[in-house]
Amino acid sequence: MNMPDPQAFAATWLSQFTDPKAWDGWMKMAPMTPPPASANPLAGFLKDIGAGIDPGKLESIRDDYLKKGAQLWQDFVSGKTPVLHDRRFSATEWTAHPLSAFSAASYLLNSEFLLAMADAVEAGPRERQKIRFAVQQMVDAMSPANFFATNPEAQKKMIDTKGESLTKGMANMLADLQKGRISQSDESAFEVGRNVGNTPGQVVFENELFQLIQYTPTTPTVHSVPLLMIPPCINKFYILDLQPENSLVRYAVEQGNTVFMVSWRNPDRSQANLRWDDYVETGAIRALEVVGEITGQEKAHVFGFCVGGTIAATALAVLAVRGRQPAASLTLLTTLLDFSDAGVLEVFVDEAQVALREQTLGGGGLMAGRDLATTFSALRPNDLVWNYVQQNYLKGKEPPAFDLLYWNADSTNLPGPMFCWYLRNTYLENKLKNPGALTVCGVPVDLGKIEAPVFMYGSKEDHIVPWQAAYASMSLLNPKNAKANRFVLGASGHIAGVINPAAKNKRSYWVNDKGGKAGGKSRPKDDGAWFDGAVEHKGSWWPEWARFLAQHGGADVPAPEVPGNAQYVAIEPAPGRYVKARGD
């Protein structure tokens, strides 16, 4: 056969890849709704970002691309199968067929080229992050694994099943179109209150914003200081109480704690005007008051997870100005107080985007839970979008039963004014860390006025709350007794790192009890120095937290025989009805 010149072939190949008509044709093959028009055509996008790259860097990237492209073509015509270092193409079908292997290798090379261009753009860190995010979204969407015509696994499955897999895949896709979201789990396998969110307890208080659950003790005695858990209002609380074997709630009860849980209401139109102040005053502060009135204790352990931690810390800061210090300790899991590094979510936050949200939702309305879920899925599209396109639609498989992904699909709405305040004052303007910069519930907020030992947890691979950002918040809390504060770093990500049951003895965590690399009693201000001096331990971080609570938990007292008291009687069994309201 007549071989074209490798350099000329690679150059032509690149022009075809960036041609708008080729892009449109590719998109018509997609089994999903295509990306927004702002991402199309690719050629225009490449031209735009190319204009912001130093000519020398751009030439180097182009030359490297042409060199690798020419080598790939030579390997292809000589019959050499490329090595595919990507788990999306790990199945033997990809290398069993030369064209499939070449298609995957071509895609990986093109991806490398696009991302190199994005990284070379001369812009500020946030602008470069947004550009890279946009390019990564396109790159992930363009994988040949995402389309039946270029996925040899799906084609083989169709042949092996005599077309049944394709028929089933179409049915799965149509069912998801009716639901308005991609199925990530067998949702029929779970029911809140039956096999998730089923730790025994009673709802002992409710208002228009939340229900308060008191869990049934399992030990004859309990620590006198109760524990109030404040979960994120962006998701439902039962992430902390999945099945018995991975329930942090059940574990806390088994450690001899009287545990209370805030179960946020899933807002409907009647609550479309709620503000951040309402979540602090009517939510966290009211929950603390009720816990104190039920237990007769002046102080409680206060626990916050993600934005629940931001709400909890804000509430305690408000109460400090009012002359109250109701926290025996403060536990914050994957929580941002200093939003200087807000992780990948920064790509969704700038003045224009926040102003648009304020214009549409600031005066009232709901931020739909479905939209929030889509945003979070976009942060990890290969895992949370395209994987299910391939498995559910192209191969006709049913998603497996997975409690965490069932919870992930159980979305919640947010009141527009609350959501807009949160975006502007934390993510955009980062005011919460500055004493007196924000007024909440009528008082200036100063996190440094909270007088309680702090247990701060971060996840090493967290893309939503980078652990370094969680560590930065340590300097804002309990400055008068900073030595009592404790930072623990766990393996894995934002959710999987937190839900790491002690009984399973999986993963690992890091603690630094000596300070920095050179030793010393004070906690290093720099996260790098902290990590250099940290010691890795196998297993779950949960026992570390249990010991922290016990240290500040007071004397042991007989476990309460009944939930609530004469004033706060049981309303209904846990998990209550608020958590069962869907946001779809």
Question: pLDDT (tens digit, 9 = 90+) per residue, 31-80?
Answer: 433 333 333 444 555 566 555 788 899 899 999 999 999 999 999 999 99
What is the number of other CB atoms lying within 10 angstroms of the CB of residue 96? Answer: 12
Q: What are the structure tokens assigned to 322, written together?
A: 């009012």
Residue 10 above 80 pLDDT?
A: no
Please state which of the ranges 33-37, 47-51, 232-236, 350-354 shows the lowest mean pLDDT.
33-37
**8 Å CB contact between 213 and 203:** yes
Q: How much of the chain, in percent, has pLDDT values that exceed 70?
A: 90
Strand duo 443-444 + 439-440: pairing: antiparallel
Give the integer Cα–Cα distance in Å for 65 and 45. Answer: 18
Strand duo 414-415 + 439-440: pairing: unpaired
Give the integer Cα–Cα distance in Å for 548 and 139. Answer: 45
Q: Please report the pLDDT score of residue 565 as a whole number.
A: 97
Mean pLDDT of all residues in 340-350:
89
Q: What are the structure tokens assigned to 175, written together?
A: 């069912």
pLDDT tier at 325 (50, 70, 90 boundaries)?
very high
81 vs 518, higher pLDDT: 81
What is the number of other CB atoms lying within 10 angstroms of the CB of residue 425? Answer: 19
Instruction: Point out the catalytic residue in the list 233, 306, 420, 441.
Output: 306
Q: Please report the pLDDT score of residue 253 as a whole number.
A: 98
Give me the residue spans of the domains in the chain.
6-154, 201-342+413-485+538-580
Sign, CA torsion 466/348/262/289: positive
**8 Å CB contact between 502 and 509:** no
Please state which of the ranges 230-244, 340-354, 552-566 shows the lowest mean pLDDT.
340-354
Residue 553 above 50 pLDDT?
A: yes
- What contacts 222, CB < 8 A, 6 or more positions away? 256, 257, 258, 556, 557, 558, 559, 560
Query: What's the whole-number average pLDDT of the chain?
Result: 89
Helices (H), 180-228: none
**145-179 per-position pLDDT tens digit:** 999 999 999 999 999 999 999 999 999 999 999 88
Does residue 267 come out as left (phi exceeding 0), alpha (psi in the -120 to 50 range) or beta?
Answer: beta
Please state which of the ranges 96-110, 117-131, 145-159, 310-324 shows the lowest mean pLDDT.
117-131
- Helix-strand-coil split of the chain, %, nearest 5: 50, 15, 35
Evaluate if pTM is beyond 0.85. Answer: yes
Q: Please report the pLDDT score of residue 49 as a whole number.
A: 59
Strand order in the sheet with 300-305: 535-538, 508-511, 486-490, 454-459, 327-333, 300-305, 227-230, 259-264, 210-215, 201-206, 572-573
Q: Please report the pLDDT score of residue 448 as a whole number.
A: 97
First to last CA, the chain: 58
Residue 6 above 50 pLDDT?
A: no
Q: Please report the pLDDT score of residue 124 as a whole number.
A: 84
Give the integer Cα–Cα distance in Å for 300 and 292. Answer: 7
Q: Please report the pLDDT score of residue 576 as a whole number.
A: 98
Mean pLDDT of all residues in 513-534:
73
Clarify whether 233 is annotated catalytic.
no
pLDDT tier at 16 (50, 70, 90 boundaries)?
very low
Q: Please report the pLDDT score of residue 424 as a whole number.
A: 97
Q: If you search the block for the tokens 């753009």, which residue do you land on?
A: 121
Element holding 572 (H helix, E strand):
strand 572-573
Q: If you search the block for the tokens 């019959």, which residue do you land on?
A: 79
Q: What are the structure tokens assigned to 126, written together?
A: 């946030």
What is the number of other CB atoms lying within 10 angstroms of the CB of residue 41? Answer: 17
Mean pLDDT of all residues in 110-131:
89
- Cis bond leading into 381, ω under 30°? no
3-state secondary structure of 530: helix
Pick the closest to residue 185 from 466, 473, 421, 406 (CA basis): 406
**8 Å CB contact between 202 and 214:** yes
Give the integer Cα–Cα distance in Å for 374 and 322. Answer: 40
Does residue 492 come out as left (phi exceeding 0), alpha (psi in the -120 to 50 range) or beta?
Answer: left
Mean pLDDT of all residues in 195-224:
98
Assigned CATH topology for domain 201-342+413-485+538-580: Rossmann fold (3.40.50)
Q: How much of the chain, in percent, has pLDDT values that exceed 90?
A: 78
pLDDT tier at 374 (50, 70, 90 boundaries)?
confident
